[in-house]
Structure 1
Amino acid sequence: MVVSAEFLGLLLLLTSAAALGLSIVIDVGRVSAEKAKEGLAQRTYEKKRAALAEWRQKTERKRVDLTTLQARLTEFTGRRHKTQSELKALEYSKIELVHEVGDTDGDTDVYWAQLGVSEAFAQLDRKDIVFSRQIWEYRNVVHILANSADQAHATLHMAFGQRNGLASSPVVPLALAPDPVAEQDGSA
């Protein structure tokens, strides 16, 4: 068989066209595969971006919740300290130490005075302080057995004087002594 130049040219043209078509098909396949990979990567990126935005929202909500809880904790801690202080003050106001001085000879009256510490109390030497320092944290009153208010006043100052770092309220008959419960209610 004799092959002519035209036939060879046509065969070469067909082969070139087939190769070009095959090359285009392969390139289109590669491009579409790359586009598919890019689309998949874009969807993965969008999912991760949405998840990140959701986590940021959750984190912000948790931060706000934490701030709110810290504020509540601070408030409740303050309330607790205030309540404990009030309980201690109430405890101290309910405890009343009564000191009795004077003689019970004859027909004596009972007088009342409240004791407290003076400004010099903290600087006094321990030997000059009557009883223990801790009892002066409570309400201290004196019942004085005496024939007159002047005698009761003198007895009080002999037993609990300025040298001990103590100060007293005015001496009154026991019947006129203020009620500690009414004083506590009045100061609240």
Structure 2
Amino acid sequence: MVISAEFLGLLLLITSAAALGLSIVIDVGRVSAEKTREAMTQRQYDKKRAALAEWRKKTEAKHAELTGLQAKLTEFNGRRHKAMTEARALELSKIELVHELGDPDGNTDLYWAQLTPAPNFPELDRKDIVFSRQIWEYRNVVHIAAYSADQAHGVVRASFGQRNGLAVSPVVPLAMAPDPEAETAAA
């Protein structure tokens, strides 16, 4: 069998056309696969973008909630501090230290005065302060046995005075002394 040039040319043409068709099919498959991958990636991107938007909304809501809770915490801490301060003041006002001066005998009267730290109390040297500094945080009163209010006043001034960093209230008869419970209730 003799192969003619026309047959050989036709065979070459058919082979070339088949190769070209095969390459077109392969390129279309690649393009189709790329488009499918791009579409999948776009869907994933859209899902993640929607999830990010949702997380941002949730984060903003939680941030607003956190700000509200921090404000409440600050308010409650303020209330707690105020309540603790009031409880401490009440506790200190209920404790009363009584200092007794004078020699009680049958003829003397009892007088009353209150002692409070003077404004210069914190600056005083330790040796000038009568007793410990801590007792002056409480209510301190003096019961004085004396023959007259003037004598009682002199006894208190001699025992507790400005040199000790203390201020003395006016001396009154013990029967006229103010009630600490009434003072606490009034405050």
Q: TM-score range by the shorter chain?
A: 0.7 to 0.9
CA distance in 2 between counterparts of 1:156 and 1:7 reads 143
Structure 1 residues 180 and 17, CA, compared in 2 at 3 Å: closer, same or farther?
same
SS in 2 for 1:119: coil
CA distance in 1 between counterparts of 2:51 and 2:77 reads 38
SS in 1 for 2:116: strand
Residue 109 (structure 1) aligned with residue 98 (structure 2)? no
CA distance in 2 between counterparts of 1:174 and 1:106 reads 16
Match of 1:81 in 2: 81
Q: TM-score with structure 2 length normalisation?
A: 0.83
Residue 127 (structure 1) aligned with residue 159 (structure 2)? no
Runs (5+) with no aligned partner, structure 2: none
What does residue range 23-34 of structure 1 map to in structure 2 within 5 Å?
Answer: 23-34=23-34
Cα displacement (A) at 1:72: 2.6
State the aligned residue count.
Answer: 187
Range 158-167 or range 7-16, more displaced = 7-16
Match of 1:44 in 2: 44
Cα displacement (A) at 1:95: 0.6
Match of 1:57 in 2: 57
1:32-79 Cα distance to aligned partner (Å, 9 max, x none): 222111111111111222222222223323333333333333222222
Cα displacement (A) at 1:94: 0.7
**Which residue type is aligned with residue 29 of structure 1?**
G
CA distance in 1 between counterparts of 2:125 and 2:12 reads 126
Cα displacement (A) at 1:159: 1.9
Structure 1 residues 144 and 21, CA, compared in 2 at 3 Å: closer, same or farther?
same
**Which residue type is aligned with residue 171 of structure 2?**
V
Cα displacement (A) at 1:21: 4.3
Range 154-163 or range 86-95, more displaced = 154-163
CA distance in 1 between counterparts of 2:46 and 2:119 reads 75
Runs (5+) with no aligned partner, structure 1: none
Structure 1 residues 21 and 123, CA, compared in 2 at 3 Å: closer, same or farther?
closer
Structure 1 residues 167 and 20, CA, compared in 2 at 3 Å: closer, same or farther?
same
Q: Percent identity over the alignment? A: 74
Structure 1 residues 171 and 31, CA, compared in 2 at 3 Å: closer, same or farther?
same
CA distance in 1 between counterparts of 2:127 and 2:18 reads 121
